[in-house]
Structure 1
């Protein structure tokens, strides 16, 4: 299938590792020109050199003014942004009973504010050109809240509802807005969560991972490449009639539809 994104410009937040990197690689493989972003500039440059048509932008996208600067750099070097992938680090694990107002504010600042800033920066051009893709890397916690991730559950749910509202407002302009929800994908972030769970419960990481796999119908963790492929499709031309959707890439982990 031709995804129809050859020559399109993609801005992928936090794309020097994990799911962001997987999405960036998948988009580049389909012919998109990708802006690789991250705090580790040298790593961003190494990744960009390995991908055709990619450029590196070293930036902490959580810092004030960083989004505007990074978008300006990307558009100067690659052209107007057609695809915006919202991604970033999640807050630390916490229970709902122990969640402080400060931690809740941090979750909002990490999971909603920079994503809103990016959308606000690129959306007018997408609507004017009548073609655009906004895709958020979310969490299955917006469907079934995850234990010990109270601040993440709250922040990601807020973002999801904002994006669902936005999707209806811009659909007639040729802009789609979707979320892609990972389950247990084999990334460094999931490894950290597994280690945290092992420490809390006083068991080995291997035991935690075995229990996790047993709870997934596919009986395994997903790969970043599988997640990246799903993301590339949602950003494609053939997916132009899919909007306002939260698609799970989780091996059947969440049991409801």
Structure 2
């Protein structure tokens, strides 16, 4: 399927690996010019080179922490007129909520709620003027089904969801959409590090915990990041203009609900 976004500029945060990289790759395959981002310059440069070679797309690498003012400024300088914005950022490590300090809570809210909102503020008016914009926020399945130890991450992402829900309705008439993708368990470095922390919290082995989690998923497997990237690319496409303010859960059936 031709997604109708060839030549569009896509800004993908935290995209040197994992789900962010999968999104950047899928958008590059669709013909977008992609700006990728990460804190590790060497890994970022390698990712940019690999995506460009695999897709033939123009890929611009911008090193920096998207959670910092300087990092966001560098991204926006590299892509001042983004047509597509994919908000993504690492979440706080799993921790018992009793052990969260005020500073830790503010840091979590800054990374997973305020940073995406600040980027949306910077790009949305240009999208409205051009009458095309796609904003996709990578949140988490834990927004709908909380997980022990991820209270701060879940709360911050739920705040982002609610904040932008109203904004999505304000800009829909300008062909600007805002949607969220809620990943379940995907085979990424984040899954491994979070699993190790949760295993330690619960006093069980990492292998036992991951095996039990895999078996709890109706699909009986962890997700492939490529599957996630394809969904992101469709939501960014010209065909998705009537989808906005939605939370797309992609979790192999783990969330037990009929609606």
Contact 1:96-1:150 within 8 A present in 2 as well: yes
Instruction: Give how far 1:98 is off.
Output: 3.5
Corresponding position of 2:59 = 54
> 1:64 pairs with 58, 69, 84, which one?
69
- The runs of 4+ residues in structure 1 deviating greater than 4 Å are none
Name the CA distance, whole Å, in 2 between partners of 1:205 and 1:177: 36
Corresponding position of 2:22 = 22
**Aligned ranges for residues 1-257 of structure 1 at < 5 Å?**
1-50=1-50, 51=52, 52-75=57-80, 80-256=81-257, 257=259
Name the CA distance, whole Å, in 1 between partners of 2:177 and 2:204: 44
Q: Tell me whether 91-100 or 108-117 shows the greater mean CA deviation.
A: 91-100
Instruction: Give how far 1:203 is off.
Output: 2.6
Name the CA distance, whole Å, in 1 between partners of 2:199 and 2:109: 27
Instruction: Give how far 1:63 is off.
Output: 1.8
Instruction: Give how far 1:60 is off.
Output: 1.4
Instruction: Give how far 1:100 is off.
Output: 2.9
Counterpart secondary structure, 2:158:
helix
Instruction: Give how far 1:155 is off.
Output: 0.5
Give the TM-score of the pair, scaled to structure 2. Answer: 0.94
Instruction: Give how far 1:73 is off.
Output: 1.7
Contact 2:112-2:160 within 8 A present in 1 as well: yes
C-alpha distance after superposition, 1:37-62 (max 9, x if no partner): 11122322222222221111111112
Contact 1:45-1:55 within 8 A present in 2 as well: no
Q: Where does the alignment leave 5 or more consecutive residues of structure 2 unmatched?
A: none
Contact 2:93-2:194 within 8 A present in 1 as well: no
- Structural RMSD (CA): 1.3
Contact 2:15-2:21 within 8 A present in 1 as well: yes
Name the CA distance, whole Å, in 2 between partners of 1:24 and 1:16: 9
Q: Where does the alignment leave 5 or more consecutive residues of structure 1 unmatched?
A: none
Counterpart secondary structure, 2:244:
coil
Instruction: Give how far 1:193 is off.
Output: 1.3
Number of residue-to-residue matches in the alignment = 253
Counterpart secondary structure, 1:124:
helix
Instruction: Give how far 1:147 is off.
Output: 1.2
Name the CA distance, whole Å, in 1 between partners of 2:170 and 2:97: 33
Name the CA distance, whole Å, in 1 between partners of 2:191 and 2:226: 15
Give the TM-score of the pair, scaled to structure 1. Answer: 0.95
Instruction: Give how far 1:88 is off.
Output: 0.4
